[in-house]
Structure 1
Amino acid sequence: MNKGKESYNNIPLPDSLSASIQKGLDRGKRYTGKKWITGFGSLAAACLCIVVLFRILPFSGSNNTQTPDTPMAARSQDTPVTPQAFSDEKPVETQAAEVYRIPCRQTTDADTQVPVYKMEEKLAPHRLVFTLYDVRDFDFDALSEELMDSSLVKDVYRSILLDDSAVSFVVELSINTAFQLTEQTADGYLELSLSPADTADEIREVFYLSSDAMDGGEETALLQESLGTLDSSLVKAQDGSFCIVSGEFETSQEAEEMLEKLEKEGLEPGLLHVASGMSDESPVGNATGDTSALPEATMPSSIQVYGTVTEINGNQVMLENDNQNDPYSRIVLNINEDTLILTATDCIPKKLKDLKVGETLYAYVSPMMTRSLPPISNAELVICQVPEDMAAPTYATITEITSMNDGTPAYVTDRDIIYFIGENTVIKTLDGKKELTAADLTPGTKVLAWYQIMTMSIPAQTTPDEIRVLP
């Protein structure tokens, strides 16, 4: 059996069959190699698909979770991705113009030749000066309050005029503010539009002619009236005082030449002087006129207030006036046993019960007052029964007696006024029954003085018509 098997195994194979077997073995090896390559290729393709899916689909477990409200980053190679592209800040919007209506409806019987308004643009500081003629329904307080709420407006104040048929006020603009005025006079108003300027203001020095600093009110109106046709306007200084200014010059030489020309034409020497300031700034307010020969005045021991009596409640009297520049336009007077109440013409003593609602009073009160609105202060002196055609006397204390350069005696007071005693100055006791002389005017003496003209210098100077000496 084994011998037969051995003989079977040793049977020789034909050459053709051997070649076929070797060819089949080679084909099997090539197939197996291709199968491994295909398997590796499929695995690589599957991995690539998984990577793509992870980059596209917003899986909740990813650290780069995005919601529908989250902006997708730009993929384009032409659009660079910067932090600003993802800022949460809203784009800055251009500020819309602020529009204000200025009533200017004239009275029914107004002269058609009279202009409705005048507006002038001035510098140092940048301001608009409005003058309305023969208007009605004009509420300055309401307009001022509305304008002052704007960041484009620095200040608004009245400019007192002697002409009762006209009103004037000033709108001081903030830096880099543009304005436009549209006439709607047929509809009874002007339209003032304010907006941030497209370009920054050019800040430069401006030269002009200026008066000395004043408290404002009728004093400035009188000065402006005395300048006649000279183009002048009111400006509020940084310290709260007021100046009358004229002209806008590029150099101090131009201003000096204009001042010299005006004085040759009759302008009172020393009334105006050359001053300067930056185009966006208000004057400082310190007088720059030559007052070196004048002695310094002392701060007053009392404050002058005035107004119409609107209410009397016990020993308290409410005074009100319509001067927008007066810090004490509303004040309550405490009338006590030390308060002196006198008539304006002959200094006759009066009592609290003699004061009436609707009456105009001038009072001198203590600087110590409450911080309430209106403030309350003790009255030292009250002047009542003031005739419409005369000014109330000024209450002052003589603090020093000195001499001017020419030897003239000068009586310095705590009211920022210097008195000179003239040939026609009458000096009497308070009741007017006894004549006195200048020798009775000593430092510490309290006086009432009547005068008509006073200089604009600081301190002011005057020659009183009459002086009454308080005991």
Structure 2
Amino acid sequence: MNKGKENYNNIPLPDGLSDAIRTGMDRGQKYTAKKWITGFGSLAAACLCLVVIMRIFPFTNGTGGDNSNIPSPANSSDTPVTPQAFSDERPVEVQNPESYRIPCKQTTETSPKMPVYHVEEKWAPHRLIFTLYDIRDFDFDAVSKPLLESSMVQDVYRSILLDDSAVSFVVELPINIEYQLSEHTGDGYVELSLRPSDTADEIREIYFLSSPEMDGGEETALFRESLPAGEYSIVKTREGKFLVVSGEFETQQEAEEMLAQLEQNGMEPGTLQVASCMSDESPAGSASQDTVTLPETTMPSSIRVYGTVTEINGSQVTISNDNQDDPYSTIILNINEDTLILTAEDCKEKTLKDLQKGDILYAYVSPVMTRSLPPMSNAELILCQIPADMMVPTYAAITDVSSDPDGSLRITTDQELVCYINEDTVIKTLDGKKDLDSSALQSGNKILIWYQIATLSIPAQTNPDEIRVLP
């Protein structure tokens, strides 16, 4: 083996082999360098082509340039519309939503099936109508103030109901604002979130049934209560008045058909009329009619109730009588800072602390009362300390003053009582310290009337013994 290895090592190398090996190595290095240069050149060319393509065909959803004016293609399933079908205002630029808490904690424990709140969405203008049930101490100003400070709220106003246990108000939204409600009734509130809409609101003409314009308050509530059964809401006009409205119809014919149906069901013709406005606008008021004449079923400014005090709970006084035909045989009187408590004989002022269980009271309460059992209403005037043989005075508002041919003064009141004033009628201030003449009896004044006999006619007529004029 050693002999063979020695012979292998002594094999002579050909001349020029070293030069051939060196030449091959140089060629290999040149080839490798050429491959790297070619690769880098191809990559650079590809990048250049990509830049050119992006400049010619920008991506509409990309971030490489300003493409806000390039319209995106419409889907084939989109309904074609004219440009006039949407608002001219562009949706507000995206910003964080605003959230507001609407308190809805109920005063008493109610059935889980009973609603805590209800929200209706209406148009012309776009508005949300909130109704909160069994709410006694609702602070409207605390709720409305932050909403009115928002640029995403147009207006906030009350919608008076003939039910003191419920509260209703309207949040009017400007164009291109969307909303979301989150229910947190277990924590005693509903959260209203507002944000600019991603798409423009569709603007269209809306037809509806409308009342004449009113000043608002109980006037609108009484009017709505007198209408046939149906869905009615309150809307604020451009002039700051209020309308009772019903329906959102696409055509005038639909509105006229609904009006005809209501009149066939007994509604007096002329009570409502067909009106229209654009869905993003508040309706215009009636320039030809400054006041509204309520139907003949107009309630008096106050209702007389009476009974024995059975319970005093804070500022609430419960009275009850045994008259089974009396719809208010048991009623809860809400006493507030405006309630006037007087002795029936000489009109001396008293306070809630002077009232006790077992006292007999006559009270004049607001027609706006709860539908609960027993009903509850705000007391305007309470008469106490009533002598057993005394005729309790009547509390009334003067609605008309006129002179009869015989020279006597005729006073019409809202309590279905007409008073004929003559020289024997005593007229005084409420405290009785100052005598007045008949000129103090003006339409709109509140008075207390003492009389002995009245006719059985409707309205009743009497010659009062004495009248006290309230300040």
| TM-score (norm. length: structure 1) | 0.48
Q: Which structure is larger by alpha-carbon Rg, 1 or 2?
A: 1
| TM-score (norm. length: structure 2) | 0.48
